[in-house]
Amino acid sequence: MEEYMLETRHISKAFGKQLAVDDVSIKVKKHTIYGLLGPNGAGKSTLLKMLTGLLRPTKGEIVINGHPWSRKVLKDIGALIESPALYGNLTAYENLLVHAKLLHLPDSRIQEVLNIVGLENTGKKKASQFSLGMKQRLGIAKALLDHPKLLILDEPTNGLDPLGIQDLRKLIKSFAENGITVILSSHILSEVKQLADYIGIIQNGKLRYEGKIDESQDLEKLFIDVVNKQ
C-alpha cells in the first residue's frame, strides 16, 4: 500500500461562475518532490492555497498524512506562497523570532533553520537589504520553523539569477533527502525536471497529467502536448 503525504479527492474551487480548480485529484508520496506544472493562470496557486487553508474548496476533500484536512494538520505544513511576508526593518533572526514566539517554539530552533537555509551569518543586516534570493531563503526558513512534514513552495525561483536558482535547487533537494515531502509549483520546466520525482500538469483548472518523471523523457514536449490537448 502506497504511503501518501497528500491526497486531493475531486476538489474544485469556484469564484462565482468561474471554476479556478475543477475536480482535481492528486497523490503525493511521502519523502518525494512533486512538481506542479501549468501555464500562468492554470489554477496552481489556487490549489496550493486550498492545501494551506488560505482558501476553502467549493467541493471535494483534502487528506494530509492520512487525515482529513483540518486546522490541526496545518502544524504539519510549511508554505511559501507568492512573495515571503517579511518585516523589512528586522534582521533574519528577528523575523523568525516573531514567528517562533507565536508558535511557542524555543529560540534554538531559529538558529537551526538559519543554518539550514544558509543565512546564519547575516548578523544585523535588515531584511529590506537582502537580495531576492536571500528573501526567498528567509521565507523558506520561516516555513521550516515548526518542523513541517509537507513543504509547499509556489514559484520559489521566480526572479532569481542563475546562481540563486542553483543554491535554491540544492536546498530543495536536501529537504526530501531529510524526510520532508515537497510540492513545488513552477512554470520553468527545466527546474522541475532537475528537482521533481513526480509531476502533475494543470491546465484551465483541470489535472491533465500525473506521473513519475522519466529522465529520458522530453518534458517540454510532454507539457506542450498535454496543454494543447483540449
| DSSP codes of every residue in 143-157 | HHTT--SEEEEESTT
Question: Residue 218 domain-assigned?
Answer: yes
The pLDDT of residue 1: 47
Question: Residue 110 domain-assigned?
Answer: no
The pLDDT of residue 230: 62
Question: Residue 175 domain-assigned?
Answer: yes
pLDDT at 5 over 90: yes
| DSSP codes of every residue in the chain | ---EEEEEEEEEEEETTEEEEEEE--EEETT-EEEEE--TTSSHHHHHHHHTTSS--SEEEEEETTEE--GGGGGGEEEE-SS----TTSBHHHHHHHHHHHTT--THHHHHHHHHHT-TT-TT-BGGGS-HHHHHHHHHHHHHTT--SEEEEESTTTT--HHHHHHHHHHHHHHHHTT-EEEEEES-HHHHHHH-SEEEEEETTEEEEEEE--TTS-HHHHHHHHHH--
pLDDT at 194 over 90: no
Q: What pLDDT digit, counting tens, does each position of 16-48 carry? A: 989 999 999 999 999 999 999 988 888 998 999
User: Checking DSSP bridges between strand 33-37 and strand 59-64, what pairing results, if any?
Assistant: unpaired
184: domain CATH number? Answer: 3.40.50.300
Question: Residue 24 domain-assigned?
Answer: yes
Question: Residue 109 domain-assigned?
Answer: no
Question: Residue 167 domain-assigned?
Answer: yes
Cα angle: 141, vertex 144, 146; to 5 degrees: 130
Q: Which domain holds residue 36?
A: 4-82+149-228
Amino acid at 86: L
pLDDT at 142 over 70: yes
Number of domain units in the chain: 1
The pLDDT of residue 62: 95
Q: What pLDDT digit, counting tens, does each position of 58-109 carry? A: 999 999 988 899 888 888 999 988 778 888 899 999 999 998 998 899 999 9
pLDDT at 155 over 60: yes
The pLDDT of residue 187: 77
Question: Residue 134 domain-assigned?
Answer: no
Question: Residue 113 domain-assigned?
Answer: no
Whole-number average pLDDT of the chain? 89
When pLDDT is averaged across residues 125-143 and rounded to a whole number, the result is 89
When pLDDT is averaged across residues 135-151 and rounded to a whole number, the result is 91
The pLDDT of residue 201: 93
The pLDDT of residue 205: 93
Share of the chain above pLDDT 90, in %: 47
**CA nearest to 87, candidates 78, 77, 97:** 97
The pLDDT of residue 39: 86
